[in-house]
Amino acid sequence: MSDTITFTVDGVEVTGRKGQTIIQAADDAGIYIPRLCWTKKLKPGASCRLCTVLVNNRPTASCTQPIGEGMVVLNETEQLITYRKNLVEMLFVEGNHFCMFCEKSGNCELQAMAYRFGIAAPKFPYMFPKRELDASHPDIFLDRNRCILCGRCVRASRDLDGKGVFQFVGRGNHKKIGVNAEARLADTNVDVSDDAVGSCPVGAILKKRVGFAVPVGQRLYDHQPIGSDTEAKARRSARGK
Amino acid sequence: MEKPKVATTSLAGCFGCHMSLLDIDDRILKLIQLVDFDKSPVDDIKKFSGDCLVGLIEGGCANEENVEVLRQFRRHCSILIAVGDCAIMGGLPAMRNGIPLQECLDEAYRNGPSVYNPSGRVPNADELPLILNRVYPCSEVVKIDYHLPGCPPPADTLWEAVVALLNGKPLNLPYELIKYD
């Protein structure tokens, strides 16, 4: 029996390996499904819901759904694009995202997602929540104003670093990133070289003293939308045929 | 035919967005062939001489004068554009939104490390506009028709937007012209 599984994404035939999730198989095929809480190195968290696709007409998180033979996946429908825009806009208004002075600007996945979707301004009212900043650690900032609760640091610290430095605390509106210490990040065993530190898609966890090292115009998403490297793969293989 | 009129203002902003408008360089000569400026720091006209087609708003609302000017713009302009991050989301001045107003004033006029103010008085003259409890994005005060993000928005963004608007064409900004920084 063959280990390959064939299904379609927006009508395009995609062949993946057994055990892959939709997002993994789509990535390999050069089809970009927007995502914030998922990265290649981590187990899926399925919290941001940006990667929601329609699988046989049912909304499903493509980062957790395994591929199946003959599956019909819809990724870029007008409705799904609207959902994703709304999600990104809601993330912007429910935090304090001051891109103009953020060290992550230009390399930020949340910002890049908004650029990709062509969002000029969120249509929801800004909430200006009061969030805590923790600058206690000599090498690392933790600025909860910018946190989007994707949980990438939680999973990276637990699964890659084997430390469990970060964890969610509270529920609903009060949910925030907590640290494994009485109060401060400085009192944990986190190290600046930890995967958890590099895993943050936004500017919530930052290394100190390296801000603005890359000039405007040379940053990750200054010229090319997020996901275009994945999509370039599909164009290359199409030319090869 | 009379040229359409454009008005601009800087509320709680830094004039950076107006500087970006000047960054359109020699296209400003084309711009003044296309439009007349009404109330604006560009020509230093202080009061509206009549109704305008377009109002460009820089900055959010930090005090009651900002609100008053913004409402004037809404009354006089058919199309109101929030230019820059401060007009859209409050920008840097909105960093005080999580801090009680009294604490902000104390830090600025009484307790700040570089403050010398033996009387301990906070400026409160009648001619000073009353400061608001927090900084409000323009869209929370009046209806805003379009948003041009950036800190400041690139000159090309402003140019493309104004030209598209004057020609009645849809605005399709290329990827590199929508920036939040």
Give me the residue from B89, B178, B180 closest to A126, CB to CB. B89
| A-B Cβ pairs (cutoff 8 Å, strict) | 61
Contact list in B for residue A222 (CB cut-off 8 A) is 176
Least CA distance to B176: which residue of chain A? A223
What is the DSSP secondary structure assignment for residue B171, as one 8-state letter?
A: -
pLDDT at B87 over 80: yes
Look at residue A132 in the predicted model and tell me its pLDDT.
94
Residues above pLDDT 90, as percent of chain B: 95
Token pair for residue A112? 């890049």
B163: Cβ–Cβ under 8 A, 6 or more apart, which residues? B34
Q: What is the ipTM of this complex?
A: 0.94
- Alpha carbon of B174: minimum distance to chain A alpha carbons (Å): 9
Least CA distance to B135: which residue of chain A? A128
Choose the mutation target among B20, B86, B103, B175 for the interface with A, i.e. most A CBs under 10 Å: B175
Helix (H, G, I), strand (E, B) or coil at A113: helix
Per-residue pLDDT of A116-153, as tens digits, reads 999 999 999 999 999 999 999 999 999 999 999 999 99
Residue A73's φ and ψ, nearest 5 degrees, are -110, 130
Instruction: Report strand pairing: A52-55 vs A72-74.
Output: antiparallel
Q: Across the interface, do B97 and A120 touch by the CB < 8 Å criterion?
A: no
Per-residue pLDDT of A44-88, as tens digits, reads 999 999 999 999 999 999 999 999 999 999 999 999 999 999 999
Q: Across the interface, do A121 and B88 touch by the CB < 8 Å criterion?
A: yes
Residue located via tokens 């104003």? A145
Residue B147's φ and ψ, nearest 5 degrees, are -125, 130
Instruction: Report strand pairing: B131-136 vs A166-169.
Output: unpaired
* CA–CA separation, B134 and B157 (whole Å): 29
Per-residue pLDDT of A162-211, as tens digits, reads 999 999 999 998 999 999 999 899 999 999 999 999 999 999 999 999 99
